[in-house]
């Protein structure tokens, strides 16, 4: 057992509680938040190093042995997502210091950001299905507050829809948990894997697996993404960037974890269904991204396309394809946050979301323009940037295993992604400059620094692939070999 495993939950939880007592001391809140996230980054890097050397780390809470007690499990797959979460949150918070406004900051903004992180971290690290549900709810309750904080008409409208949809999906989640417990007598991931492997994944268990897929698909915006575009366009851009980079990724993680560790015996049924859901998601998301001229909605639909593409790796279910999906997942968390933050600067300067009302910003804001250009190419998968490696491995795995249609749709929607983000670049930065410096609605002071951090990381993920791929392959190996996870949990 390793007590470090609980720190990614404990640090943001204690910080969130502490910040409640400093409601009106905005500078104190900002300082404590920054220190907390930096400390969390150090702890996560230490855990990643430990896992790379010693293997998967676990912690049995209260000393209760699994499968009876609560267990936290830190393997390479979970920790890579934990690290990406901390980095993205840190950059979004730095950006938010200058954009969200003191009124929101005084109403516990940073407290709920930390509580949302607790839910996200817990979802990545939990070792049983019921506590996955609990951490999902912690994350969602915090996101309900963050999406509505400010009380604007659009926020209240979209938050109501967001809350209702997630309440329904949470109810379905509990029903699925009940059925699975009635069949197997356990909810521990490792124990579930062992019992289903021993008894066989019959039709009833496969039905429950598809039911769980439906629940996770709603939360990941896999085909059922009707709630996402509206919900992601109404909060301040710093919050939208966190939502775009993190929330759907928890649903994706849940699908990957359960369908590589527990429900992998009938891959012809479950994994192919996941693949075709991904294909439909890519196509519909691509249509939305190409059709709209609203900057926020174009970026929101690009979130949906990425969800579909990541699912190809799970549908193919080989180590190469899984490594590609993991690489692309990490890339997408970083680059999606970057694009939303840069888009927020564009909207802040011009005072509008509409591309037809922007032009020529590169004349006064060259760094902003070229960072957006780099992020656009990274998102589309242009070499040598971060998106290329993930797409290459995923498509290579798909073609090697004969999933030609999925690979073709992945390539076509990559072109749609490129078209949609270049439409933003060409309309926003090229052409005649319609806005003088004096007419700009806000200053870019302090806003490009967190964007630069994310841009450097995107380049680093592409150029430094040999270094990063060592950890990604370890994560893919864990997913492709469930026994390693089972041994770490049940034989610890």
pLDDT digits 0-9 by tens, 224-249:
888 888 888 888 999 999 999 999 99
Residue 80, domain member (yes or no)? yes
Which has the minimum average pLDDT: 46-55, 150-159, 284-293?
150-159
Q: Using CA atoms in the order 134, 139, 142, 145, what is the torsion angle rounded to 10 degrees?
A: -110
Looking at residue 437, what is its pLDDT? Answer: 63
Q: Does residue 194 carry a pLDDT above 90?
A: yes
More confident residue, 172 or 438: 172
Rounded to a whole number of angstroms, the CA Rg of the chain reads 21
Looking at residue 436, what is its pLDDT? Answer: 62
Beta pairing partners, 60: 71
- Host H or E run for residue 427: helix 404-429
Beta pairing partners, 128: 188
Number of domains in the chain: 1
Q: Does residue 258 carry a pLDDT above 80?
A: yes
* Residue-wise pLDDT tens digits, 414-460: 999 999 999 999 998 887 766 666 666 777 888 999 999 999 999 99
Mean pLDDT (the chain, rounded): 92
Of the pLDDT bands very low, low, confident and very high (cuts 50, 70, 90), residue 203 is confident
Contact status, residue 333 vs residue 85, Cβ threshold 8 Å: yes
Q: Does residue 85 carry a pLDDT above 90?
A: yes
Q: Does residue 262 carry a pLDDT above 90?
A: yes
Looking at residue 62, what is its pLDDT? Answer: 81
The pTM for the full model equals 0.95
Name residues whose C-beta falls within 8 Å of residue 134's C-beta, 6 or more positions apart in sequence: 122, 126
What backbone torsions phi and psi does residue 290 show, to the nearest 5 degrees?
-75, -35
Query: How confident is the model over 477-489, as a mean pLDDT?
Result: 92
Contact status, residue 340 vs residue 299, Cβ threshold 8 Å: yes
Residue 174, domain member (yes or no)? yes
Residue 1, domain member (yes or no)? no
Residue 12, domain member (yes or no)? yes
Residue 69, domain member (yes or no)? yes
Distance CA 100, CA 115 (A): 18
What's the domain range around 423? 6-490
């Amino acid at each position: 057992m390793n007590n470090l495993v609980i720190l990614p939950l404990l640090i943001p939880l204690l910080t969130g509680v502490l910040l409640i007592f400093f409601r009106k001391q905005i500078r104190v809140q900002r300082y404590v938040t920054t220190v907390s996230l930096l400390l969390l980054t150090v702890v996560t890097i230490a855990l990643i190093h430990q896992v790379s050397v010693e293997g998967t780390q676990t912690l049995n809470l209260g000393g209760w042995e699994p499968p009876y007690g609560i267990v936290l499990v830190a393997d390479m797959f979970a920790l890579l997502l934990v690290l990406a979460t901390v980095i993205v949150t840190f950059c979004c918070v730095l950006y938010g210091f200058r954009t969200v406004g003191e009124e929101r900051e005084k109403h516990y903004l940073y407290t709920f950001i930390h509580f949302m992180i607790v839910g996200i971290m817990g979802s990545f690290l939990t070792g049983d299905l019921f506590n996955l549900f609990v951490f999902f709810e912690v994350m969602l309750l915090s996101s309900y507050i963050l999406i509505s904080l400010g009380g604007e008409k659009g926020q209240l409208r979209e938050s109501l829809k967001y809350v209702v949809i997630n309440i329904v999906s949470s109810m379905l989640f509990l029903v699925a948990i009940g059925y699975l417990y009635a069949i197997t007598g356990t909810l521990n991931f490792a124990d579930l894997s062992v019992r289903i492997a021993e008894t066989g994944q019959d039709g009833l268990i496969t039905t429950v697996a598809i039911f769980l897929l439906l629940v996770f698909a709603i939360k990941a915006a896999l085909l059922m993404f009707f709630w996402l575009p509206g919900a992601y366009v109404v909060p301040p851009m710093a919050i939208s960037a966190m939502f775009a980079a993190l929330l759907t990724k928890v649903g994706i993680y849940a699908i990957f974890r359960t369908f590589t560790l527990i429900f992998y015996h009938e891959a012809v049924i479950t994994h192919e269904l996941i693949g075709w859901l991904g294909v439909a998601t890519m196509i519909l998301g691509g249509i939305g991204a190409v059709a709209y001229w609203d900057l926020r909605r174009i970026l929101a639909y690009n979130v949906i396309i990425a969800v579909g593409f990541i699912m190809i790796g799970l549908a193919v279910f080989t180590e190469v394809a899984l490594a590609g999906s993991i690489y692309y997942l990490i890339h997408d968390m970083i680059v999606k946050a970057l694009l939303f933050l840069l888009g927020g600067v564009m909207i802040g300067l011009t005072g509008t979301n509409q591309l037809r009302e922007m032009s020529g910003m590169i004349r006064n804001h060259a760094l902003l323009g070229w960072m957006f250009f780099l992020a656009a190419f990274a998102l589309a998968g242009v070499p040598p940037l971060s998106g290329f490696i993930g797409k290459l491995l995923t498509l290579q795995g798909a073609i090697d295993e004969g999933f030609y249609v999925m690979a073709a749709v992945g390539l076509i929607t990559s072109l749609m992604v490129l078209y949609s983000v270049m439409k933003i670049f060409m309309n926003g930065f090229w052409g005649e400059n319609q806005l003088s410096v004096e007419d700009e609605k806000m200053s870019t002071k302090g806003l490009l620094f967190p964007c630069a951090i994310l841009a450097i990381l995107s380049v680093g993920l592409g150029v430094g692939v040999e270094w990063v791929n060592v950890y990604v392959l370890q994560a893919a190996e864990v997913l492709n070999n469930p026994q390693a996870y089972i041994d770490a949990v049940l034989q610890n």
